[in-house]
Amino acid sequence: MTNNKTIHTLSVYVTNKPGVLARIAQTFSRRGYNIESLVVSSAIDGNFSRMTIGVSGAEDGLGQIIKQVGKLVDVLHCTDHTFDDAVVKEMGLIKIAVAAEDRGEALQIAEHFGCKTVDLTDESIILQVVGDPAKIDALMEMIHKFKIIEIVRTGKVLMSRGVEIT
Amino acid sequence: MEKIMMDGGQAIIRSLEAEGVEYIFGYSGGSVIPIFDALITTKTKIKFVLVRHEQGAAHMADGYARATGKPAVVLVTSGPGATNIITGVMTAHMDSVPMICLTGQSVSWMIGKDAFQEADIFDISMPVVKHSYLLKSSDDIPRTIREAFHIATTGRPGPVLIDIPKDMSAGPMSVDLFAEMDIPGYKTHENDEVNPQHIQDIAEALSKSHKPLILAGHGVLISGAQDALLELAQKLKAPVTTTLLGKGAIPETHELSLGWLGMHGSAYANKAVCECDLLLNFGSRFDDRILGDPAQFCKQAKIIHVDIDPSEIGKMIDPDIHCIGDALKVIEALMPHVAELNTSAWLKKLDGWKQQYPFKFKRQGNLKMQHVIDEFYKLSDGKAIVVTDVGQHQMWAGQFYKTDHPNSFLTSGGAGTMGFGLPAAIGAQFGKPDELVVCFCGDGGFQMTLFELATAALYKLPIKIVVLNNHYLGMVRQWQELFYDDRTSGVDLEGNPDFVKLAEAYGIKGFNLRRPGDAKRIIKAALEYNDGPCLINCEVEKTDNVFPMIPAGKPIEAMIIEAPKAGSKKLEKPTGST
């Protein structure tokens, strides 16, 4: 088994029933895979949900686990989009402790990354950033020079390009 | 559809009737009283069997399903009643056996509040079921039960559990007994069109083979493909080996049969795996008991894997060619594309191995388990439904009771569940009342579920319960002798009761068998006994070992065909799983 840290992005289309998330999570955890991010939301048809799962673990067993997830009764399909040219987006909220007089540089970095300032007090600001996960990582890198109070990321969502269904 | 008024329990029973259920095996309790009440108020023809422990109910349903191909129902109460079936559910899941488990649950508004006898069985059972439900509304009862049977019995079968809060089964409701199923994500693959390209690929690979080997797993029996398989083997002139669970997929006395392969399978089947040029697997999941070392398995051959479950392809072995589908459909699709192969030299070689390495034992000295099994085989004309427990006797039963008919060798393969034998035999006898059921148990496994003697006695089931008693947990003792310098630890079953007296206490006829010379006479008497079950306690050689043996995790080439001579080189500890 090779232990590669690639985070795979899977899109799972499921019936909106109790237990479906637990079954999927169990399938990964039993084989030692770690769920790095998870986004669940209702599909156009409210009887179904779309999950975007970021998962890491041994590269060579993943294909088999995707098949195991795919065979769950509540799962319509499970597709690995890691190497597809798909639209991948994530949102992050970053709360930094910054006094009013030092805000200038923080806001400059924020502007460069297209962030919105969604909260502003005398001691802190909250920046909202939207983009592909690499862009958010780069922002995190830059903003580290300030005192970060907390970071919340949504985890990535993904959609196939063109008319193709994800 | 028209809705009718009834209570939830009655809706459950009516829905089970609609699925053609013949037996419910179960144990009552507070949260299922409304369902038990409905067994009376509906005047149903479904027969209820009261077991002595819920694990027994699960194994009975399992044995019934393996013998008949039809699912039975397990009905137990909440909390400990539900958790007690888990071993049986896991056993069925590992061996792809259909089963419907109805578990009672606390009233819905108390769930999650640590109510009396509340267990979160929906989540506890999740890894060992094919699918499961926690009922949210009594209106869902008919649809859920219909879906449960469909899921349990189609594609790759397995157990389905429905957790039923008491308020769902108790209250009056207006119900549509013909509600449609709603499982858009469920894929059985059993009606899939067999991929013609894959059939072409298989046929082409076969046409180039001179040393083919067909491997038949449980999937062949589940699909009912045994006749088609034999036809294919005969057309190709190709030998067939089976897994332990595939016993009966080809008559084992047929000249093309190599018996079963794997850790304690026939030397000739295992040698054939090492020398074939093509391995055509129908419905076996390449279990670790047959692979030895997966990286070394069958390296020299082209491997073809046919399975109804796509997630089995490439799980253990990466095949050269694969085909998704029901075994029968694939064999039928393949048949017109194949012709007789030039296998005469190969078959001659295999025959030589069969002569050279037969299963054998010594009839002299202390009574051997093999002797007892062999005598049962001969005196029953090989026609019994054999049910085993788990351990040395299980392997010897596989070796010495040849299986010529499908669904007549019932054993816990994947799970290796001790305690499976007796209750599974009871279930099999309920399902096949006119057939001879012989249950081979060790003294260890028998004591794990012996309380079901009461069930066997109550229904006067004519099971032959053969306790192969070596006063040891023999398989572990064998490993300790071979790989741990004979340091026996935790395997001496000192304190066994007198099993004949125990049987008699349940009103069951008991026989003692000690001397090899008495084997024929006593086994004949046991087979002729016709007033309910009988138990034959066989005092056998304490320290016998099962061979051939492929040490776990070793390549098949490392097979030990016969017992190592005293003073021979010490064996390395196995590296494979258990």
- Contact indicator for B135, B162 with CB cutoff of 8 Å: yes
User: Nearest Cα to B476, choosing from B462, B488, B459, B458?
Assistant: B488
Residue A3 lies in a domain: no
Q: Write out the H or E segment, with its range, that includes residue B486.
A: none
Q: Sort residue B224 into left (φ over 0), alpha (ψ -120 to 50) or beta.
A: left
CA of B152: which chain A residue's CA is closest? Answer: A73
Average pLDDT over residues A5-17: 92
Q: Is the pLDDT of residue B568 over 80?
A: no
Average pLDDT over residues A54-67: 90
How sure is the predictor about A110, in pLDDT bands with cuts at 50, 70 and 90? very high
Residues A47 and A99 in one domain: no
Q: Is the pLDDT of residue A7 over 60?
A: yes
Which residue intervals of A55-163 are DSSP H helices?
59-70, 103-112, 133-143
Show the domains of chain B with their CATH numbers: 4-175 (3.40.50.970), 196-356 (3.40.50.1220), 369-546 (3.40.50.970)
Q: Where are the beta strands (DSSP E) in B243-344?
A: 257-260, 278-282, 302-307, 321-324
Average pLDDT over residues B420-429: 98
pLDDT at B570: 76
- Average pLDDT score, chain B: 96
Query: Which residues on chain B are in Cβ contact (under 8 Å) with A26?
Result: 126-127
**Domain at A45, CATH number:** 3.30.70.260
C-alpha–C-alpha distance, residues B212 and B318, integer Å: 18
What residue has token string 């009594």?
A: B138
Sheet holding B437-442, edge to edge: B409-410, B385-388, B437-442, B464-469, B534-539, B509-513
- Contact indicator for B448, B419 with CB cutoff of 8 Å: yes
- Per residue in B356-370, pLDDT (tens digit) is 999 999 999 999 999
**In Å, how far is B461's CA from the nearest CA of chain A?**
38
How sure is the predictor about B218, in pLDDT bands with cuts at 50, 70 and 90? very high
C-alpha–C-alpha distance, residues A117 and A104, integer Å: 13
pLDDT at A106: 92
Residues A95 and A148 in one domain: yes
- Contact indicator for B63, B410 with CB cutoff of 8 Å: yes
How sure is the predictor about B539, in pLDDT bands with cuts at 50, 70 and 90? very high
The reply to whether residue B127 touches residue A67, judged by beta carbons under 8 angstroms, is no
**Residue in B122, B123, B311 nearest the CB of A68:** B311
Residues A20 and A55 in one domain: yes
- Residue B568: both structure tokens together: 């021979």
Query: Which residues on chain B are in Cβ contact (under 8 Å) with A30?
Result: 127
Q: Using omega within 30 degrees of 0 as the cis cutoff, is the peptide bond preceding B548 cis?
A: yes
Residues A17 and A51 in one domain: yes
C-alpha–C-alpha distance, residues B452 and B552, integer Å: 33
In degrees, to the nearest 5, what angle opens at C-alpha B336 toward C-alphas B201 and B253? 95
Q: Sort residue B314 into left (φ over 0), alpha (ψ -120 to 50) or beta.
A: left
Residue A166 lies in a domain: no
C-alpha–C-alpha distance, residues B308 and B514, integer Å: 47
Residue A123 lies in a domain: yes
Which residue intervals of B171-223 are DSSP H helices?
196-207, 218-223
Displacement of CA A102 from its chain's centroid (Å): 31
Query: Which residues on chain B are in Cβ contact (under 8 Å) with A73?
Result: 130-131, 151, 183, 185-186
Residue A47 lies in a domain: yes
pLDDT at A57: 85
Displacement of CA B376 from its chain's centroid (Å): 21
Tell me the helices (H) and strands (E) count for chain B, helix number first: 23, 20
Displacement of CA B325 from its chain's centroid (Å): 21
Residue numbers of the domain that contains A70: 8-80
Task: Tell me the residues of A at the B interface, defined by beta carbons under 8 Å apart.
Answer: 14-15, 18-19, 22-23, 26, 30, 63-64, 67-68, 70-76
**In Å, how far is B126's CA from the nearest CA of chain A?**
7
Q: Write out the H or E segment, with its range, that includes residue B391.
A: none
CA of A78: which chain B residue's CA is closest? Answer: B185
Beta bridge partners of A39: A52
Residues A59 and A122 in one domain: no
Query: What domain count does chain A have?
Result: 2
Residues A63 and A92 in one domain: no
Q: Is the pLDDT of residue B380 over 80?
A: yes
Q: Is the pLDDT of residue B546 over 50?
A: yes
Beta bridge partners of B321: B304
Count chain A–chain B contacts defined by CB atoms under 8 A. 42
C-alpha–C-alpha distance, residues A37 and B237, integer Å: 54
Average pLDDT over residues B115-138: 97
**In Å, how far is B144's CA from the nearest CA of chain A?**
13
- Contact indicator for A58, A32 with CB cutoff of 8 Å: yes
Average pLDDT over residues B478-490: 95
pLDDT at A3: 47
- Per residue in B464-474, pLDDT (tens digit) is 999 999 999 99
For chain B, what percent of residues have pLDDT higher than 70? 100
pLDDT at B1: 58
Q: Where are the beta strands (DSSP E) in B490-546?
A: 509-513, 534-539
User: Nearest Cα to A77, choosing from B310, B162, B66?
Assistant: B310
pLDDT at B123: 97
Strand-pair category, B131-134 with B302-307: unpaired
**Domain at A147, CATH number:** 3.30.70.1150
**In Å, how far is B266's CA from the nearest CA of chain A?**
31
Catalytic residues of B: 54, 116-117, 166, 475
Residue A1 lies in a domain: no
Query: Which residues on chain A are in Cβ contact (under 8 Å) with B294?
Result: none
- Contact indicator for B538, B513 with CB cutoff of 8 Å: yes
**Residue in A64, A75, A76 nearest the CB of B314:** A64
- Per residue in B237-251, pLDDT (tens digit) is 999 999 999 999 999
- Contact indicator for B135, B141 with CB cutoff of 8 Å: yes
The reply to whether residue B310 touches residue A64, judged by beta carbons under 8 angstroms, is no
pLDDT at B336: 98
Residues A112 and A74 in one domain: no
Domain final residue pick, A80, A101, A116: A80
pLDDT at A1: 39
Residues A13 and A75 in one domain: yes
pLDDT at B346: 98
Residues A72 and A123 in one domain: no
C-alpha–C-alpha distance, residues B542 and B366, integer Å: 9
C-alpha–C-alpha distance, residues B446 and B465, integer Å: 9
- Judge residue B381's burial from the number of C-beta atoms within 10 Å of its C-beta, 0-12 exposed, 13-18 middle, 19 or more buried: exposed
Displacement of CA B256 from its chain's centroid (Å): 24
Residues A150 and A92 in one domain: yes
How sure is the predictor about B482, in pLDDT bands with cuts at 50, 70 and 90? very high
Task: For CA atoms A126, A131, A134, A139, give the dihedral sign.
Answer: negative
Residues A15 and A66 in one domain: yes
Q: Sort residue B96 into left (φ over 0), alpha (ψ -120 to 50) or beta.
A: left
Q: Where are the beta strands (DSSP E) in B136-222?
A: 159-165, 172-175, 212-216
Query: Which residues on chain B are in Cβ contact (under 8 Å) with A70?
Result: 310-311
How sure is the predictor about A2, in pLDDT bands with cuts at 50, 70 and 90? very low
Q: How far is CA A104 from CA A128, A148, A149, B111, B571, in A?
A: 17, 16, 18, 54, 74
Residue A165 lies in a domain: no
The residue among B161, B162, B187, B286 with the most chain A CBs within 10 A of its CB, best to mutate, is B187
Domain final residue pick, A80, A108, A133: A80
C-alpha–C-alpha distance, residues A48 and A45, integer Å: 6
The residues, ordered by sequence, that sit 6+ positions from B159 with a Cβ below 8 Å of its Cβ are B89, B92, B93, B97, B98, B99, B100, B101, B128, B129, B130, B152
Domain final residue pick, A19, A50, A80: A80
Q: What is the DSSP-derived secondary structure letter of residue B127?
A: G
Residues A109 and A60 in one domain: no
Q: Which range is least confidently modeled, B86-90, B333-337, B411-415, B571-575? A: B571-575
Which residue intervals of B225-266 are DSSP H helices?
226-236
C-alpha–C-alpha distance, residues B441 and B391, integer Å: 9
Q: Is the pLDDT of residue A74 over 80?
A: yes
ipTM of the complex: 0.91
